[in-house]
Structure 1
Amino acid sequence: MSGYVLVLGGTAEARSLAAALVDRGVRVVSSLAGRVRAPRLPVGEVRVGGFGGVDGLRAWLAREGVDAVVDATHPFAERISWSAAEACAAEGVPLLVLRRPGWTARDGDDWHWVSTVDSAAAVLPGYGSRVFLTTGRQGLSAFASLDLWFLVRTVDEPKPPVPQRMRLLLDRGPYTVEGELGLMREHGIDVLVSKDSGGRLTVAKLDAARELGLPVVMVRRPAVPDVGRVGSVDGVLAWLIEGGVLRFS
């Protein structure tokens, strides 16, 4: 018997999960927030845009009759994660969070953990004056008043306010260590700012910072709802099968 799964997506893991489910004859709707102009689309059905908060998501779940929801959003997309937890609990729909593991410091790393992007901006002047800022286009306003030079890398053009002294690089991963080393050397970078997004697509910047002996201001992941969580697509498939939510034909 095939089933029906809503995947809250936007990540490489979400795309891999959608492909695995479609291969098994499961109907999948992947929901994307719509914040990226040209997102990488998964296989299966795709919807773009928010649900309208908890009430909107509850109404969608009730209308669609999905068998399960998998929250495979970015580790820092906390709003939709909390909305999904509340909506699924209210509607009695099984929910699982798929999160890739965060990064772990290695020998030679000089990481300085902070709780928020605002906290990163507050401590940044103590670590350098030429910053490689890789926290995404949302939250750039936190750095707008700093008298530092920034290399800002985002997927899409950010909206002001943004740092006054910056070079904008529109790009998306995967990145290589050689490429990241080249960027940092070319622009005289002396500090890196990153979110603890985890994964392989963007980890090269951390390897490059380690090789160059640069400090890294690392933003911790936000708190997540107290729901089941796995770190891989295989973990989701096992939950769907062993938990009796779906049986694949």
Structure 2
Amino acid sequence: MPSHVLILGGTAEARELAAVLAARRGPRVTTSLAGRVARPGVIAGDVRIGGFGGAEGLADWLREQRVDALVDATHPFAAGITANAAAAAAATGVPAVVLHRPAWQAGPDDRWHTVASLDTAADLLSSLGRRVFLTTGRLGLAAFAHLTDLHFVVRSVELPDPPMPPHTEVLLARGPFTVADESALLYDHCIDVLVTKDSGGEATSAKLTAARHLALPVVIVARPPLPHGVTTVPDVAAALAWLGLKTTGPSPP
């Protein structure tokens, strides 16, 4: 069993893993957040906020804090953090794993258009609809700012920063959301097309089900590739097993 686990967080899985480890009163657990959300919610164990200063800075922190297990539970699109974590783990010899939730899979009734980037998603929109539900995160709106003839409904935990499309309606909300919630939103706002990143998992998948029920097209931005050779696990239970801890029952909320 490790004595100090560093979790690179910002996801529901990171919060759940920290809660399980803290409840067992075993290893010290520290969750690191990038600091992009002002009110991240309650997280068990120690919490640090802010960057490390790249791979070298993270490697120094791992040594100074005597970390002997690193769990990268960041968002699937946090490619820079994941690359730095892999490099720091290799430099220090600290065992590391990426908690990489499974990607979404299209069903026979889905109308998905998979693209490689937000810019490509923006290029495709005019051919699919005029009213867009955009759930790609508040930091990616600049890719759509030039689309002056479309109306965007943007959902975000916090107010996004400009630039953004001129015809943008911002909905401040924090999930998870039910299929009924998402269906009502799409219907009430007369949405023609949904744009999202392939975050994977069940926490934000209700919008895909709602879009399927309403036969709406969905533009999905594919995930960036993982660094070569990293070890991955699909969920919290597998991360606990990797840490050498057995699951004995339901995880704390």
TM-score by length of 2: 0.93
**Which residues in structure 2 correspond to 1:17-96 (within 5 Å)?**
17-24=17-24, 25-96=26-97
**Which residues in structure 2 correspond to 1:194-233 (within 5 Å)?**
194-226=196-228, 227-233=230-236
The residue that corresponds to 2:110 in the other structure is 109
- Given the alignment of the two structures, is residue 118 of structure 1 paired with residue 119 of structure 2, yes or no? yes
| Cα shift at 1:2 | 5.9
Q: 1-side partners of 2:167 and 2:15: how far apart? A: 36
Q: 2-side partners of 1:2 and 1:176: how far apart? A: 37
Q: 2-side partners of 1:160 and 1:241: how far apart? A: 45
Q: 2-side partners of 1:13 and 1:240: how far apart? A: 15
Q: 2-side partners of 1:2 and 1:69: how far apart? A: 10
Structure 1 residues 77-114: Cα deviation after superposition (integer angstroms, max 9, x where no partner) = 11100000011101111110001111111121000000
Structure 1 residues 129-158: Cα deviation after superposition (integer angstroms, max 9, x where no partner) = 100000010110000011210001111111
Structure 1 residues 25-64: Cα deviation after superposition (integer angstroms, max 9, x where no partner) = 1100000111011112320000011111112111111111
| Cα shift at 1:177 | 1.1
| Cα shift at 1:184 | 1.0
Q: 2-side partners of 1:189 and 1:65: how far apart? A: 51
Identity %: 58
CA contact (8 A) 2:2 2:69 kept: no
| Cα shift at 1:205 | 0.6
The residue that corresponds to 1:141 in the other structure is 142
- Given the alignment of the two structures, is residue 234 of structure 1 paired with residue 240 of structure 2, yes or no? no
CA contact (8 A) 2:33 2:48 kept: yes
**Which residues in structure 2 correspond to 1:137-176 (within 5 Å)?**
137-146=138-147, 147-176=149-178
TM-score by length of 1: 0.94
Q: 1-side partners of 2:46 and 2:9: how far apart? A: 12
| Cα shift at 1:185 | 1.1
Q: 2-side partners of 1:230 and 1:2: how far apart? A: 17
CA RMSD of aligned residues (A): 1.2
Following TM superposition, the consecutive aligned residue runs of length 4 or more in structure 1 with deviations greater than 3 angstroms are none
CA contact (8 A) 2:2 2:243 kept: no
Q: 2-side partners of 1:57 and 1:222: how far apart? A: 21
Gaps of 5+ in 1: 243-249
Q: 2-side partners of 1:116 and 1:95: how far apart? A: 28
Secondary structure at the counterpart of residue 7 of structure 2? strand
